[in-house]
Amino acid sequence: MKSDDIPVTVEQIGAALAALGLYEGNNTPAEHAERAAGFGSPDIYRLRLLNTLLGAVQGQAKLADEAEEDGEDLFTAWLEQLKGADTWDDPARQISFLGWQVRRVGMPLFLLANDPDTGPIVGAAAQAAEALHIMLGVIGTLEEADPTVDFVTIINQGGMLKAGRELLATALDNTDTALETFK
């Protein structure tokens, strides 16, 4: 499946949401324009629609994953996601896509970790997620960099790796703190 990086329209997103029972309305350009005005911009409205669709599909994928017991079948099914995202045959695009997914997981963790009542385990998870995001970013940058031209870019990745390492060290410290409560 190739997307050719052509964004889907709000009408296409609306149709997908309607097929899942999550969109009420006529799904017309005029209707979408009116709703977009309420969000301040067509781009924000489109982003909200896409994330609603993504959440619904991810919820269904989670249910299907939980029902499947064969790890090999799960792995094969998960690869379909990479095909659907048009990242299957390009390692750099795969890394970028995985980094995006990790970032989406990490952001709510960081918000939760700001609440002192959540404790050190949530903080450790947030820090580990951010460290993974940084490492995937380094991999992606190095994959795309031309060593004969992008010397500074490549050198700067050392600083990024140090930042990721510091986050991992802090995550380990938070994990140790949490483990102390089990003694």
Yes or no: say if 141 and 133 are a contact pair by the CB < 8 Å rule: no
pLDDT given at position 70: 83
Residue-wise pLDDT for 30-44, tens only, equals 999 999 999 999 999
pLDDT given at position 45: 97
Question: Residue 3: is its pLDDT beyond 70?
Answer: no
Yes or no: say if 133 and 173 are a contact pair by the CB < 8 Å rule: no
Q: How confident is the model at residue 105 (pLDDT cuts 50, 70, 90)?
A: very high
Question: Residue 183: is its pLDDT beyond 90?
Answer: no
Share of the chain above pLDDT 90, in %: 81
pLDDT given at position 60: 94
Residue-wise pLDDT for 49-84, tens only, equals 999 999 999 999 999 999 988 888 899 999 999 999
146-153 long-range Cβ contacts below 8 angstroms, 24+ apart: none
Give me the sign of the Cα torsion angle 95, 97, 102, 103.
positive
Q: Which DSSP category does 183 fall into?
A: -
Instruction: Tell me how far apart the alpha carbons of residues 86 and 58 are, in angstroms, rounded to a whole number.
Output: 17
Instruction: Tell me how far apart the alpha carbons of residues 111 and 102 are, in angstroms, rounded to a whole number.
Output: 15
Q: 13 exposed, middle or buried (CB, 10 Å; 0-12, 13-18, 19+)?
A: buried
Question: Residue 20: is its pLDDT beyond 90?
Answer: yes
